[in-house]
Chains A and B, each alone.
Chain A
Amino acid sequence: MSTTPNYESATTQGPEAIADFSENNNSMINRVQHALHVTPSLVPLIVLVLSLIIFGTLLGSKFFSPFALTLILQQVAIVGIVGAAQSLVILTAGIDLSVGAIMVLSSVVMGQVTFRYGLPPAFGVACGLACGTFVGFINGWLVAKIKLPPFIVTLGMWQIVLATNFLYSANETIRSQDIAKHAPLLQFFGEKIKIGTANFTVGVIFLVLLVIFLSYVLRHTAYGRHIYAVGDDPEAAELSGVNVKAVLISVYMLSGLICAFAGWALIGRIGSVSPTSGQLANIESITAVVIGGISLFGGRGSIMGMLFGALIVGVFTLGLRLLGADAQWTFLLIGALIIAAVAVDQWIRKVSV
């Protein structure tokens, strides 16, 4: 009983390294895994560059021209804008199946307010934007306050909004020529800026600016970090003082607003206001998000990745068409890409355990 127990001696007896997690840290694979974990948009970027190179080699200048490349941008503009909305929701570990329906309803509201009620086009646009935001608010409120699963809420809302769209519009198209004559503002997003043989539309520029703006907000503002936190672990976020409900509601509202902008851009692209368009925009936007490396489980991924994901789909679609392949092949390859993207996502996640 003379000496105090020497606890310290235990440390000298055991092996030097008790729990070494850095075993393979230097191997190539692990470094790649780590790099991808830090920058999740790297995978889609690599795939995008590779697919550009492959189609460029196979098709030459037909594909690798400013004309064809900016055409791809025009073709993905709508899906890209809707995809930005979808990204925000998915980052909170939610999903929004109603994006396409909100887009179409908003465009119909813009058209009908202008043409059926004869109000100024600017007011019509404002009504459309408000309509999208409002539908987003209902989604957010049901998810955050009533605690219904986002999948169910937006599945229901998808049907409700589509039905409203058809009932309200009587499925009547407003013709491009009438819009051009009486309310050119509605076609604003279709305006073109020509640089050589490259064609940029306002819609494309809007998409790029939107993605840059959102990725800044997500990375560098408190609000953006809160979105990630809510998606990663809502309880932990709540405990650290994040108002989870307010964040969720605001994200769905923002998503609705962005979809309404997509509806405006849609009028610019197809010229007319057509209640039958955009039926598959929800699936296409989820495809872009998943290929873009945003985790469906929330809290990880970047909006840049979504843009690359949308572009990959665009490059494959046009590239395969130019190669003369049957349209079926495009769907088949995109299906394979989706599964590959999620497999990569699962693999990257292991690094964070």
Chain B
Amino acid sequence: MKKLLACTALTMAAMTGTAYAGEVSACLITKTDTNPFFVKMREGAEAKAAELGVTLKSYAGKVDGDHETQVAAIETCIADGASGILLTASDTSSIVPAVQQARDAGLVVIALDTPLEPINAADATFATDNFLAGELIGQWAAAKLGDGAATAKIAMLDLGISQPTVGVLRDQGFLQGFGIELGDPDKWGDETDPRIVGNDVTAGNEEGGRRAMENLLATDPSINVVYTINEPAAAGAYEALKSFGRENDVLIVSVDGGCPGVANIKDGVIGATSQQYPLLMASLGIEAINAWATDGVKPEPTPGKDFFDTGVALVTDEPVDGVVSINTTEGTDLCWG
């Protein structure tokens, strides 16, 4: 059945390809269409597509982790005769055969935000350097504490027990930036430095952030540095600290750069966050598809990396020496969601 579908898709792609030669069309497939991160990504893609005269069709999974819908969307795009696909995959390894099908049919496939496994399964990957994002907040926290960094008590609020890649990269980046020796850089929780009080998981939301913070505070009430996977988890952790009366003497750092997160930096809830740029990922993606369709040029990765780095900036109102940062006013202009 799948084969048959693929064959029909291929023939249709060939037919429509010739029929509409000259007109570029692109597909955007996101994990969900509810997360502000993806909403912003779609806006970025739509704006750029309108500017370049590219026809854009957007698809999204029903929930995060909805793999089937994404495969169906890829098949639809092939059948539709699109020139290229921008994809944030829910299931990074299972989607590879479907991606290969699209590439075989002559489409350029660009992974946005989330690299596929293996990363070269896509023609290119436009993403945030999550390790660098972690490293920046780690360096900032260490510089902020000064001599106190040697005796810091750190709580690590991670994403999930299955240790998704994004979460591991941010976690390990933070520790490296802070000056803590890593164990296996592909997993968190195996470090032996006594400054780490413990790791707990948050599911990346407020509720999980609060619970994880409470658990770690019960383990060691003297925690004074908190790393969080994203800003909702940071907001939850702050609520826990507030209920213990510790909100003013604990440093919280995070990653994302969403608008509520940047507002929380302004209010002193979070000390610093690494901001990423979903809008840029999408608009660069559309440009790349357009270049492929018109000139047959494929995008190149950033030198020294296996993906195209869309950049990351440290947002804080308390800059420190040695770490480049932007303030919350600039951060608000660039924030998403």
Give A residues with C-beta under 8 Å from B. 62, 67-68, 71, 74-75, 78, 166-167, 170-173, 175-177, 190, 192, 199, 266, 269-272, 274-279, 317-318, 321-322, 324, 326-328
Instruction: Let me know if A71 and B206 touch, CB within 8 A.
Output: no
State the CA gap A327–B189 with chains docked (Å).
Answer: 11
Contact with A along B220-255 (1 / 0, CB 8 A): 000000000000100110110011000000000000
7 extra interchain contacts, Cβ-Cβ under 8 A, other than A62-B218, A173-B232, A270-B235? Answer: A74-B214, A199-B243, A269-B210, A271-B236, A272-B235, A321-B218, A322-B218
Q: A265 to nearest B CB, angstroms? A: 12
**Do B235 and A321 touch (CB < 8 A)?**
no
For B209, list chain A residues within 8 Å (CB). Answer: 270
Knowing A170-B36, A272-B206, A277-B205, say if A71 contacts B218 (CB, 8 Å).
yes
Q: How far is the CB of A187 from chain B (nearest CB, A)?
A: 10
Contact of B238 among A74, A173, A176, A274 (CB under 8 A): A176
Q: Which residue of chain B has the shortest Cβ distance to A67 in the bound complex?
A: B218
Q: Does B215 contact A (CB under 8 A)?
A: yes
Complex Cα–Cα for A279 and B64 (A): 12
Are A172 and B337 also in contact (CB < 8 A) when A199-B243, A321-B219, A327-B200 are? yes
Q: Is residue B165 contacting chain A, with contact meaning CB distance below 8 A?
A: no
In the bound assembly, the distance between CA atoms of A141 and B337 in angstroms comes to 38
A318 to B198, CA, bound (A): 13
B179–chain A nearest beta-carbon distance, Å: 24
Q: What residues of B have a CB within 8 angstroms of the CB of A71 in the complex?
A: 214, 218
Contact A175 B201 (CB under 8 A): no
Q: How far does the Cβ of B120 sit from chain A's closest Cβ, in whole Å? A: 32
Nearest residue (CB) in B for A323 is B219
- CB distance B215 to A318 under 8 Å? yes
Within the complex, what minimum Cβ distance (angstroms) separates A104 from chain B? 10
Separation of A75 and B267 alpha carbons in the complex (Å): 26
Nearest Cβ in chain B — how far from A180, in angstroms?
10
Minimum CB–CB distance for B143 against chain A, Å:
26
B263 within 8 A of A: yes
Docked-complex contact A269 and B260, CB < 8 angstroms? no
Is B269 interfacial (CB 8 A cutoff)?
A: yes
Q: Which chain A positions have C-beta within 8 A of B263?
A: 175, 177
Q: Which chain B residue has the least Cβ–Cβ distance from A201?
A: B243
Residue B144 CB within 8 A of the other chain: no
Q: Is B294 an interface residue (CB 8 A)?
A: no
The majority secondary structure among interface residues of chain B is helix
Per-residue A-contact encoding for B75-118, CB less than 8 Å = 1, 0 else: 00000000000000000000000000000000000000000000
Say which residue of B39, B161, B207, B239 sits within 8 Å of A176 (CB atoms).
B239
Q: Contact between B218 and A68 (Cβ–Cβ < 8 Å)? A: yes
A-B contact pairs, 25 of them (CB 8 A): A62-B218, A71-B218, A78-B207, A166-B34, A167-B34, A171-B36, A171-B39, A173-B206, A175-B235, A175-B263, A176-B238, A177-B263, A269-B207, A269-B210, A270-B206, A270-B236, A271-B236, A275-B34, A276-B205, A321-B198, A321-B216, A324-B198, A324-B219, A326-B161, A328-B161
Contacts of A170 in B (CB 8 A): 34, 36, 39
Bound Cα distance A71, B215 (Å): 9
Q: Which of A67, A78, A167, A173 has the most CB of B within 10 A?
A: A173
Q: Which residues of B contact A74 (CB under 8 A)?
A: 214, 243
Contact digits for B12-35, partner A, Cβ 8 Å, 1 yes 0 no:
000000000000000000001011
Q: How far is the CA of A269 from the CA of B236 in the complex (A)?
A: 9
* Max chain B Cβ within 10 angstroms of own Cβ: one of A266, A278, A321: A321
User: Which residues does chain A contribute within 8 Å of B210, judged by CB atoms?
Assistant: 269-270
A269: chain B residues at CB < 8 Å are 207, 210, 239
In the assembled complex, the Cα of A84 lies from the Cα of B267 at a distance in Å of 37
Cβ contact within 8 Å between B218 and A318: yes
Q: Is the CB of A321 within 8 A of B205?
A: no
Find A177's partner among B32, B34, B207, B267 (CB 8 Å cutoff): B267
Contact B218 A176 (CB under 8 A): no
Q: Do A327 and B161 have beta carbons less than 8 Å apart? A: yes
Q: How far is the CA of A277 from the CA of B161 in the complex (A)?
A: 18
CA distance A275 to B39 in the complex (A): 15
Residues in B whose Cβ lies below 8 Å from that of A62: 218
Partner of B207 from the list A166, A167, A274, A326 (CB cut-off 8 Å) is: A274
Q: How far is the CA of A318 from the CA of B216 in the complex (A)?
A: 9
Q: Are A276 and B232 in contact (CB under 8 A)?
A: yes
Of listed B200, B215, B218, B269, residue having the most chain A CB within 10 A: B218
Closest to B337 in A: A172
Q: Are B218 and A277 in contact (CB under 8 A)?
A: no
Query: Measured between alpha carbons, how far is A270 from B39 in the docked complex, in Å?
Result: 24
- Closest Cβ of chain B to A278, distance in Å, is 7
Report if A177-B232 is in contact (Cβ < 8 Å); known contacts: A274-B207, A322-B219.
no
Provide the B194-205 mask, 1 if CB < 8 A to any CB of A, else 0: 000010110111
Q: How far is the CA of A158 from the CA of B210 in the complex (A)?
A: 25
- Please give, as numbers and ranges, the residues of chain B lying within 8 Å of A167 by CB-CB distance: 34
Measured between C-beta atoms, what is the minimum distance from B252 to chain A in Å? 13
In the bound complex, CA of A277 to CA of B209 (Å): 11
The verdict on A271 contacting B206 (CB below 8 Å), with A170-B34, A175-B264 known, is yes
How many Å lie between the Cα of A171 and that of B260 in the bound state?
A: 12
The distance from the CB of A167 to the nearest CB of chain B, in whole angstroms, is 8
A270 touching B36 in the complex, CB below 8 Å, given contacts A75-B214, A321-B218, A328-B161: no
- Tell me the complex Cα distance, A130–B101, Å: 50
Q: What are the nearest 4 A-B pairs in CB distance? A: A270-B206, A166-B34, A277-B207, A271-B239
Contact of A172 among B36, B161, B206 (CB under 8 A): B36
